[in-house]
Homo-oligomer: A and B are copies of this chain.
Amino acid sequence: MRNKQPTIWDIAIKLNVSISTVSRALRNAPDINPETKKAVLELAQELDYQPNTIATSLRKNKTNIIGVMVPEFVHAYFPNVILGIQEVANAEDYKVMIMQSAESLEIEKHNLQAMMSSRVEGLILAITRETNDYGHIISAQRKGLPIVFFNRIVDELPGSKVMVNDYQGAFMAVEHLIQTGCRRIAHLAGPQNLTIGRNRLNGYLDALKTYQLPIEESLIMPCNFEEGKTRMYTQALLNQTNRPDALFAVNDPTAIEALICIQENGMNIPEHISLVGFSNAPHSAFITPPMTSVVQPLHEIGRHAAELLIRQLNEGTHFIPETHTLDAKLVIRKSTRKA
């Protein structure tokens, strides 16, 4: 059983003052005698007094907690974003409450309820892969919960959003392939119902157009993030009589699967075929060869999301939600040829 923690009451009694006075001393209010203040602070120190934030939250109707909900945090992506969130949140004296939805809509709903119940002041949210019904989110927003979305964006929903310029990242990747001499560039594409799938495909297409390379349908493979499919489509590409000299994959897991397939066919990267990934899986630098990839500014995504949320908390109703689009960066490693 816990020993009871000391309260301002204990301090007040020992010092023979009122609890109001103690309270004033503790949060340096102006109208207090410096000497009594000193006495209070010393005794608080001695008793190792920790203010009961629960009572404070209840009284002030303010928890100073912002919620963060992500689909998972065992891969490096979301933890790094959270790091950025925590940086600015801590600087602004907010605490962060982290929950994961495990890619389950049901858990997402449940967690959202828990967050509302805990009276978080705002929420930074990356929705589940299977979230196609936004009732719970809209309902929370209608109750006045500010929400900032990132990573998985839904255009229909109001609120600030932080996203990465997938189009520009894809364009850069393909441009790099072209500039290093590749001419038949295939794309292992993502689902076209997701914006990231569409945008990356568009970046690919526009880069080809810009450099006046022909667009061939047979070089665009709908891998759709699905394991197994990627291998099959990669094999199909390699079997083409006029096989591609480069692969641009919609994300790193897809790229890695393609890499394995290529190596099993006895081909070398990048001599026979170049490969670019997207999104920077943590180990993309450690595989052989280290993979050229489009990396996202994870830290910055978190910082922007937190800043937008806190601005909204401060400015209240007359804050107008913003959408921030951050550029991606191409990290050139050894799965593409030298310029």
**A: which residues have CB within 8 A of B?**
1-3, 5, 48, 50-55, 57-58, 63, 73-76, 79-80, 82-83, 86, 95, 97-98, 100, 113-114, 116-119, 121, 139, 143-145, 256, 282-283, 286-288, 316-317
Contacts and interface: CB of A to CB of B under 8 A. Distances in A.
Nearest to A95: B114
A108 to B, nearest CB: 14
A299 B316 CA distance: 42
Given A282-B282, A287-B283, A50 B1 contact: no
Contacts of A95: 114, 118
A114 B97 CA distance: 13
| A2, A76, A116, A288, most chain B CB atoms within 10 A | A2
Contacts of A282: 75, 282-283
A74 B63 contact: no
**Number of identical protomers:** 2
A100 B85 CA distance: 13
Contacts of A116: 5, 50
A54 B287 contact: no
B117 A2 contact: no
A165 to B, nearest CB: 23
Contacts of A287: 283, 286-288
A316 B113 CA distance: 30
B5 A54 contact: no
Given A48-B139, A283-B282, A287-B288, A144 B2 contact: yes
A226 to B, nearest CB: 19
A79 B83 contact: no
Contact of A74 (B79, B143, B256, B288): B79
| A75, A121, A139, most chain B CB atoms within 10 A | A75
A266 B308 CA distance: 52
A54 B283 contact: no
Contacts of A97: 97
Contacts of A139: 48
Nearest to A143: B3
Given A1-B316, A58-B58, A74-B83, 11 more contacts: A2-B121, A2-B143, A5-B119, A48-B143, A50-B113, A53-B119, A75-B282, A95-B114, A282-B282, A283-B286, A286-B287
B74 A118 contact: no
A316 B5 CA distance: 16
Contact of A117 (B52, B63, B118, B121): B52
Given A2-B144, A143-B48, A117 B286 contact: no
Contacts of A73: 73, 79, 82
